[in-house]
Amino acid sequence: MTNLSLNRIRVMIVDDHTMVRRGLATFLKIFPDLELAGEADSGESAIQLCDEIVPDVVLMDLILPEMDGVTAIRTIHLKHPTIKFLALTSFKEAKLIKDSLDAGAIGYLIKTVTADELSQAIRSAHNGQATLSQEVTQVLVRTANHPSKQGSDLTERERQVLALMIEGLNNTQIAGKLKVSPSTIKSHVSNILSKLRVASRTEAVTLALRNNIIS
């Protein structure tokens, strides 16, 4: 707490829960280098308020009615690249974390964070340094170590079909091999594509070979 009074960090709070905003406002009161610049209860009002007050740091809840926090971060970030965003949420899904960071958040904190940790994260954000909650780091590392368990939800039959696709057989040939109608195979193939989240047979086969989906 070196730079007192004059250069206080102006913090804006975005959360749809009144009591959470109250708690955060109370929290800000005890740190002389932080001040409450404004409060918003939705993504839309956050965008508006940022235009008006241009805070230094925004504490952004991600799950908001109508416009969500990620969209709000992305929108404001484009307009005001100097504003720093700290996502403050109780969700730690890998996708949500990635989306927030992609949108421009410099930190991601879980709502188990203590007052001192939070104040430190605000200061870091203001200085352009990232802060991630311990749990968030774990989620990111885990996702990086296990890129995808794609294909784990394939049924036995779909595996058989995929194996024959790898051999280069077309639907009619696969149908002949498995003694079922080509339309049945067609529906298996479309299930396989959707489960592997790919758009074509070639992609499915490539993915299957690369990730050893069919042993």
By CB under 8 A, name the binding residues for other proteins.
16-20, 22-24, 26-27, 29-30, 65, 90-91, 111-112, 114-116, 118, 178-181, 184
Neighbouring C-beta atoms of residue 123, cutoff 10 Å: 18
Tell me the one-letter amino acid at 204: A
Instruction: Please say which residue, 78 or 94, places its beta carbon nearer to other proteins.
Output: 94
Q: Give 5's DSSP letter.
A: G
Give which of 154, 134, 157, 156 is closest to 204, Cα–Cα.
Answer: 154
Helix (H, G, I), strand (E, B) or coil at 214: coil
Both tokens assigned to 114: 């203590």
Dihedral over alpha carbons 38, 47, 104, 7 (to 10 degrees): -30
Closest approach, Cβ 181 to other proteins, in A, equals 5
Sheet of strand 57-60: strand arrangement = 34-40, 9-14, 57-60, 84-89, 107-110, 131-132
Closest approach, Cβ 106 to other proteins, in A, equals 21
Instruction: Please say which residue, 118 or 132, places its beta carbon nearer to other proteins.
Output: 118
Report the alpha-carbon distance of residue 196 to residue 62 in Å, rounded. Answer: 28
Closest approach, Cβ 76 to other proteins, in A, equals 23
Closest approach, Cβ 91 to other proteins, in A, equals 8
Instruction: Please say which residue, 23 or 130, places its beta carbon nearer to other proteins.
Output: 23
Please name the residue that has the structure tokens 């079909």.
Answer: 161
Instruction: Please say which residue, 122 or 205, places its beta carbon nearer to other proteins.
Output: 122
Closest approach, Cβ 80 to other proteins, in A, equals 26
Report the alpha-carbon distance of residue 58 to residue 64 in Å, rounded. Answer: 15
Instruction: Please say which residue, 90 or 138, places its beta carbon nearer to other proteins.
Output: 90
Both tokens assigned to 198: 């790919």
Cβ–Cβ < 8 Å for 38, 53 = yes
Instruction: Please say which residue, 29 or 197, places its beta carbon nearer to other proteins.
Output: 29
Closest approach, Cβ 57 to other proteins, in A, equals 16
Both tokens assigned to 186: 């067609």
